[in-house]
Structure 1
C-alpha cells in the first residue's frame, strides 16, 4: 500500500483579505488561484502542497467549534538564503504583522525566524547557513 502524501496545509482566517496580504508577503500567489468568500488557495507549483485558507465562520459551521490557532508553528517555509529569512521577517514587521522570533542563527545550522499570521498561526522561515 503506498504511503499517503502531504497534499495540503490548512489555516483559518477571521479576515480573509488580511490573511491573503500576509501570505502574499511570504510569496504565495493568489492571482489565478481558487478564491471564494469562505475558501482560498494560492497557485501551487508542481509537487508543492496546497495552502488552504478557510474562513473561521465556515470552519465553525463544519466542526461545531471555533478554530484555535496553535501556539507553535503550523508549518515552515524553506528559503533559499539566510538573507531571505531576514528580508521576509523585516517585511512582515514593516507591514504591521508580528514577528514572534526574530531571525537568528540556530545551533542546528539554519537561519531561523517565526512570523505570525493575523489569526495567530505561526509560520517558521528558515534557510541553511
Structure 2
C-alpha cells in the first residue's frame, strides 16, 4: 500500500523503468517478468478490517524488500543514476557482490527498500 499512487508510479516507471500492465483508479500493476508488483492506494479502515489487516502506519517500509532484476549490470548503474538525478534516496550505490551480482539499493517514496540487480557478465 502506498500513500501517493502518482508519486509511487512515477518512481517505478521513471526511475526503475518498469511499464504498467494494468491501471485502475486505486492500483497499478507491473509485470516485472518474475512477479507482479502491485501498488495499491491506502485502503480505508473498513476495508482493512474486512480483510483482517492493519494500517501500515509510519513504518510501512520496515522489513520489506522489493527485488527487481534488470537486463544487465549497466542497467543497474542506469537505474541508480536516474534515482540520483531525480533526487530519490539511494541507500547503496551499484556494487558487485560476492554472490555474482551487481546491485544497488534504493528507497521508494514510501520508504520500501528496492533492490535493483543483475547477474555479472561472465
TM-score interval, smaller chain:
0.7 to 0.9
List structure 1 runs of 4+ shifted beyond 3 angstroms: 70-73
Aligned residue in 2 for 1:76: 67
- Cα pair 2:68 2:115 within 8 Å, conserved: yes
- Normalised by the length of structure 1, the TM-score is 0.75
Q: Structure 1 residue 112 and structure 2 residue 98: aligned?
A: no
Among 27, 36, 58, the residue aligned to 1:39: 27
- Normalised by the length of structure 2, the TM-score is 0.79
- 1:48 and 1:111 mapped to 2: Cα distance? 18
Q: How many residues align structurally? A: 113
Aligned residue in 1 for 2:91: 100
Tell me how large the CA RMSD over aligned residues is: 2.1
More strand by share: 1
- 1:103 and 1:109 mapped to 2: Cα distance? 13
Unmatched runs of 5 consecutive residues or more in structure 1? 1-11
